[in-house]
Amino acid sequence: MFDFDAGKLIVIGIVALIAIPSKDLPRVLRQVGQAVGRVRRMAAEFQGQFLDAMRESELHEMREDFEKEQNKIKAEVDSAMAGVGLSGSFDPLTEARKQIVDAVETPIAPAAETSAAETPAPETSTPETSAPELPAPETPAALPPPGIAAAPGGSVSA
């Protein structure tokens, strides 16, 4: 819009020094600086709003693409499930809920009481297949009480 290069800015500065008295120059420069700051803030705000609108547009397009792909995949899964013989959509939570309700509502059959005479006896092993018995571990004759060490030669010392 405004094409100010270094040469034009120098010419404007020289004209400002000639036209504006030296005692009013600091006040004028301050006002010019504030005006330039306001213009920059407005430009940055406009640019931010423009970028937000672009992001929203791109996000909306991405969301539409995602929904199209999701519907496409869902249709493929439904057709594959129909080909296998399953109908409807697969919902593991509904299936789990159904199994839990069935398990809770089904009455528990009383345990069949069996007597000791009716229970079959455990099978006895033949001598060829049984494991050999291990000898009992040897225990020392006299162990010192805990906290007291045995001295060399078998005597107990405190």
Mean of the pLDDT values across residues 6-15? Answer: 86
Percentage, residues of the chain above pLDDT 90? 24
Asked, for residue 107, whether it belongs to a domain, the answer is no
Whether residue 81 contacts residue 90, with contact meaning beta carbons closer than 8 Å, is answered with yes
Asked, for residue 149, whether it belongs to a domain, the answer is no
- Say whether pTM exceeds 0.75: no
Higher pLDDT, 113 or 26: 26
- Residue 20's CB is within 10 A of a number of other CB atoms, namely 13
Asked, for residue 19, whether it belongs to a domain, the answer is yes
Asked, for residue 114, whether it belongs to a domain, the answer is no
- 17-60, pLDDT tens digit by residue? 888 888 888 898 899 889 989 999 999 999 999 999 999 989 88
Asked, for residue 49, whether it belongs to a domain, the answer is yes
When divided into structural domains, the chain yields a total of 1
- 92-103, pLDDT tens digit by residue? 888 889 899 988
Whether residue 36 contacts residue 44, with contact meaning beta carbons closer than 8 Å, is answered with no
Q: What residues make up the domain containing 45? A: 6-85
- pLDDT for 6: 83
Q: Would the pLDDT of 124 be above 80?
A: no
Higher pLDDT, 30 or 111: 30
Asked, for residue 15, whether it belongs to a domain, the answer is yes
- pLDDT for 39: 93
- pLDDT for 125: 52
Asked, for residue 66, whether it belongs to a domain, the answer is yes
Asked, for residue 56, whether it belongs to a domain, the answer is yes
- pLDDT for 118: 55
- pLDDT for 12: 84
Burial of residue 78 (number of CB atoms within 10 Å: 0-12, 13-18, 19+): middle
Question: Which of 107, 71, 65 shows the shortest CA–CA distance to 89?
Answer: 71
